[in-house]
A and B are shown apart, each in its own frame.
Chain A
Amino acid sequence: MKKTWQIIVGAGAAIAMIASLAGCGSGSASGKTELSFFANNTQDVYQPVIDAFEKKNPDIKVKFSTTNGAQAGYQQTLQTRISGGQLADVYVAPPEQLSDLVKNGVAKDLTNESFMDRIGDTNKAQASVDGKVYAMSITAWTNAYAYNKDLLAKAGYDSIPETWDEFIDMLKALKDAGVEKPYLEPKAGLGALVEGWIGYDSSKQSKSIDQQIGDGSSTFAKSYTKYYKEWAKLFDAGVMGSEVTGLADDQVRSEFAAGRLAVMPSGYWDVNTFKDAGINFAFGRMPMLHKGDTPYAPGAADSGYAINAKIDGAKLKAAESFLDFLSSEEGLKLIQDNMGLIPSTKNYTPDIDETFKEPYDLYLKTGNVYLNTLGWPASGRSALRAETFAQLQQVALGSITPAQATANLDTKLKTLS
Chain B
Amino acid sequence: MSQATAIVTASALPEAGAAPARAIAGSVQDFEASHTRDRKRRNLMENLTSVRFLLPLLAVYIIIVLIPFLQSIVFSLTDYDGYDFANAKFVGIANYQAIFQDQTLLAGLGFTLLYTVATTVLITAIALPLAVTLNRKFFGRNFARSLFFFFSVPSMAVLGLVWQYIFSPLGTGAVNTFLGKFGVSPVPWLSNPALAKFCVIFIAVWAQVGWHATLYLAYLQAIPADLYEQASVDGASRGQQFVHITLPQMVPAMGVSIFMLLTGGLKVYDLPFTLTTGGPGNATYTVTQSIIVTGIGSGRYGVGSALGVMFFLCCVILVALQQIVTSLIEKRLS
Residues of A within 8 A of B (CB): 72, 75-76, 79-80, 82-83, 97, 100-101, 103-104, 106, 180-181, 187-188, 242-248, 251, 255, 258, 260, 378-383, 386-387, 389-391, 393-394, 396-397, 399, 408, 411-412, 414-416
Which of chain A's residues has its CB closest to B101's CB?
A: A415
B103 touches A408 (CB 8 A): yes
Interchain CB contact under 8 A, A412 and B189: no
Which of A76, A82, A246, A396 touches B189 (beta carbons < 8 Å)?
Answer: A246
Cβ distance B70 to chain A, nearest Cβ, rounded Å:
17
Shortest CB-to-CB span from A164 to chain B, Å, is 24
CB neighbours of B101 from chain A (8 A): 414-415
**From A180, A246, A381, A411, contact of B280 by CB (8 A):** A246
- A97's partner among B168, B172, B282, B299 (CB-CB below 8 A) is B299
Contacting pair B83 A394 (CB below 8 A): no
Q: A104-B84, A188-B277, A379-B299 are in contact. Are A243 and B188 (CB under 8 A)?
A: yes
Select one of A82, A245, A412, A415 contacting B279, CB under 8 A: A245
Contact B277 A187 (CB under 8 A): yes
| Residues B280 and A79 in contact, CB atoms below 8 Å apart | no
Chain A neighbourhood of B278, CB < 8 A: 386, 390
3 nearest A-B pairs in the assembled complex, by CB-CB distance? A246-B190, A246-B191, A245-B280
Known A83-B83, A260-B172, A380-B300; judge A246-B102 contact (CB<8 A).
Answer: no
A243-B186, A251-B165, A260-B172 are known contacts. Are A390 and B297 too (CB-CB below 8 A)? Answer: no
Chain B residues near A188 (CB-CB < 8 A): 277
**Residues from chain B with Cβ under 8 Å of A394 in the complex:** 280-281
CB contacts (< 8 Å) of A412 on chain B: these are 102-104
Give me the interface of B with A, judged by CB distance under 8 Å.
81-85, 87, 98, 101-104, 164-165, 167-172, 186, 188-193, 196, 276-282, 285, 293-294, 296-300
CB atoms of A243 and B98 under 8 A apart:
no
Chain A hits for B172, CB < 8 A: 255, 258, 260
> Are A248 and B280 within 8 A (Cβ)?
no
By secondary structure, the A interface counts as helix
Which chain B residue shows the least CB distance to A378? B299
Compute how far the CA of A245 lies from the CA of B275 in the bound complex, rounded to whole angstroms.
12
Contact between chains at A416 and B298 (CB < 8 Å): yes
A380 CA to B294 CA, complexed, in Å? 7
Q: Which residues of A contact B300 (CB under 8 A)?
A: 379-380, 383, 416
- Interface of chain B, main secondary structure: loop
Q: In the complex, what residues of B have CB within 8 A of residue A387's CB?
A: 104
A245 engages B83 (CB within 8 Å): no
Q: Are B298 and A243 in contact (CB under 8 A)?
A: no
Residue of A nearest to B296 (CB): A76
Residues of A within 8 A of B186 (CB): 243
**Additional A-B contact list (4), CB under 8 Å, known A101-B83, A382-B298, A391-B281:** A246-B188, A390-B279, A412-B104, A415-B101
- Contact call A100/B83, Cβ cutoff below 8 A: yes
Q: Is the CB of A381 within 8 A of B298?
A: yes
Partner of B83, one of A79, A242, A382: A79
- Taking A97-B299, A104-B83, A380-B298 as contacts, is the C-beta distance between A243 and B277 under 8 angstroms? no
- Which of chain B's residues have a CB closer than 8 A to the CB of A378? 299
Closest A residue to B84 by CB, please name it.
A104
Residues of chain B within 8 A (CB-CB) of A396 are 280
Q: Kindly provide the distance from the CB of B213 to the nearest chain A CB, expressed in whole angstroms.
A: 31
Q: Is the CB of A247 within 8 A of B168?
A: yes
Q: Complex formed: what's the CA distance from A97 to B164 in Å? A: 32
- How far is it, in angstroms, between the C-alpha of A255 and the C-alpha of B168 when the chains are bound? 12
A16 to B191, CA, bound (A): 55
Say how far B107's CB is from chain A's closest CB, in angstroms. Answer: 9
Query: Can you spell out 10 A-B residue pairs with CB atoms less than 8 angstroms apart?
Result: A82-B84, A83-B84, A104-B84, A243-B191, A246-B191, A379-B81, A391-B281, A397-B280, A399-B281, A415-B102
CB distance from B292 to the nearest CB of A (A): 8
Of the candidates A83, A246, A390, the one whose C-beta lies within 8 Å of that of B282 is: A390
Query: Please, which residues of chain B bring their CB within 8 A of the CB of A242?
Result: 188, 191-192, 280
Q: Specify which of A83, A379, A393 is in contact with B85 (CB 8 Å cutoff).
A: A83
A173 to B279, CA, bound (A): 31
In the complex, A390→B170 CA distance in Å?
Answer: 20
With CB as the reference atom, state the residue of chain B lying closest to A245.
B280
Check B87 against A104 for contact (C-beta < 8 Å): yes
For residue B85, which residue of chain A has the nearest CB? A83
* Complex-state Cα separation, A386 to B295, whole angstroms: 13
A408 to B104, CA, bound (A): 10
List of A residues within 8 angstroms of B193 by Cβ = 397, 399
A251–B276 Cα distance when bound, in Å, is 12
Give chain B nearest CB distance to A340 CB in angstroms. Answer: 23
